[in-house]
Amino acid sequence: MKVSVKVPATIANLGPGFDSFGLALPLYNVVSVEETVLPGTGIQINIINEKNNDESDLADVPTDKTNIVYKAIELLYNFIGQIPNELKITIKTQIPVSRGLGSSASVIVGGLIAANELLGRPADEKVLMSIATEIEGHPDNITPAFKGGMTVASWEEDGSIIYRKLPWNDEWKLMVCVPDYELNTEISRSVLPKEVPMKDAVFNLKKSAMFIDALYNKDEELLKSALFDKLHQPYREKLVPGLVEIMNNLKHVNGVIGTVLCGAGPSILIIYNGIGVSEIKETVTNSWNYFNVKTNFFNLPIEKEGAQLIG
């Protein structure tokens, strides 16, 4: 038996919502899990590059038991008192790796849902979300990967995930700017301080509340005021050459609502109202050319559906 799951890309944080806000995009990874026919074959992991990734991007992805998909599946098997012995895991990648677009969250979620189906659904969604978050380390990408759309999530002390889906105004368009280099999430998180000033925490609290109100009321001016952060982006600027310049230059481009780092970076998300596409691309291209960085642009809607069984 073989089970395949399609999981969308995700963007976390969205400025002020550090480790809590996330949204899904219509780029996908597909994870297939099947029991191998011949005994003694052990765990087989295959990575298939479909598009949006250079082969070099996938060269360092492990294909043994250190792979995060296997680790997630192993936790699920342990949850029901079993050990995964004979499995073939196939990962078809469309989501750019190490660019802040939730590639790891997507394969974790896909692997868990596929393995759970293979086992006869012993775990409910709450358990799967908890296992996925334990592997990923935070629920911001995991939740929209499961549920789609725009979400806010909290990883509770008991390991459970509390989340809500938030409305998104379809008139607010998304442009994802993906540079031609990787940024390891662990490196990006290593530059963050263990403690932050009270005034910075309060700043993000205010902006997060404004963000949510702007979503419910489709308030573009309020959203413009909400897309700022003092908890992670200021510390990651040095890891993303051109980020400050792009954000500053786009403030003067008609149609731009706001610009934020995608998750841990280095991709950049531009939220705009549907106009000024050419000028936005030109501004980003010129800003990054100064740093010898090339970029791919993705104009995408929000993916309203989360992970889906496809076979």
- Total domains in the chain come to 2
Q: Which domain holds residue 184?
A: 173-300
For residue 96, the 8-state DSSP code is P
Q: What percentage of the chain's residues is helix, strand, coil (to nearest 5)?
A: 35, 25, 40
Distances (CA, A) of 295 to 151, 187, 281, 286, 288: 27, 21, 10, 10, 8
- What CATH number is given to the structural domain containing 156? 3.30.230.10
Q: Taking the alpha carbons of 257, 258, 263, 268 in that order, is the dihedral positive or negative? A: positive
Any idea which residue has 């841990």 for tokens? 264
CA–CA separation, 16 and 18 (whole Å) = 6
**Residues forming beta bridges with residue 90, ordered by sequence position:** 32, 46
For residue 239, the 8-state DSSP code is G
Query: Closest Cα to residue 87, out of 76, 98, 79?
Result: 76
CA–CA separation, 26 and 217 (whole Å) = 25
Q: What is the pTM of this model?
A: 0.94
- Domain identity same for 181 and 63: no
Contacts 24+ apart (CB under 8 A), 294-297: 294/179, 294/180, 295/177, 295/178, 295/179, 295/180, 296/52, 296/177, 296/178, 296/180, 297/175, 297/176, 297/177, 297/178
- Collapse the DSSP code of 131 into the 3-class scheme (helix H, G, I; strand E, B; otherwise coil) and give the result: helix
Question: Residue 160 burial (CB < 10 Å; 0-12/13-18/19+)?
Answer: middle
**Sequential pLDDT tens for the chain (311 residues):** 889 999 999 999 999 999 999 999 999 999 999 988 766 667 888 898 877 666 556 667 777 788 999 999 999 999 999 888 788 999 999 999 999 999 999 999 999 999 999 999 999 999 999 999 999 999 999 999 999 999 999 999 999 999 999 999 999 999 999 999 999 889 999 999 999 999 999 999 999 999 999 999 999 999 999 999 999 999 999 999 999 999 999 998 999 999 999 999 999 999 999 888 999 999 999 999 999 999 999 999 999 999 999 96
pLDDT of residue 162: 97
- Domain identity same for 159 and 203: no
Pairing of strands 43-49, 87-93: parallel
- Domain identity same for 143 and 15: yes
pLDDT of residue 60: 72
| Residue 219 identity (one-letter amino acid) | D
DSSP conformation letters of 191-237: TS-SS--HHHHHHHHHHHHHHHHHHHHT-HHHHHHH---SSSHHHHG
Any idea which residue has 């073989």 for tokens? 2
Distances (CA, A) of 212 to 31, 52, 221, 305: 32, 32, 13, 20
pLDDT of residue 65: 85
- Domain identity same for 218 and 257: yes
- Domain identity same for 161 and 186: no
- Domain identity same for 191 and 151: no
- Domain identity same for 134 and 259: no
Angle formed by the axes of helices 103-118 and 68-79, to 10°? 40
- Domain identity same for 100 and 178: no
pLDDT of residue 45: 87
- Domain identity same for 14 and 126: yes
- Domain identity same for 52 and 142: yes
- Domain identity same for 159 and 199: no
Any idea which residue has 């996330």 for tokens? 22
- Domain identity same for 104 and 189: no
- Collapse the DSSP code of 240 into the 3-class scheme (helix H, G, I; strand E, B; otherwise coil) and give the result: coil
CA–CA separation, 199 and 141 (whole Å) = 26
- What CATH number is given to the structural domain containing 260? 3.30.70.890
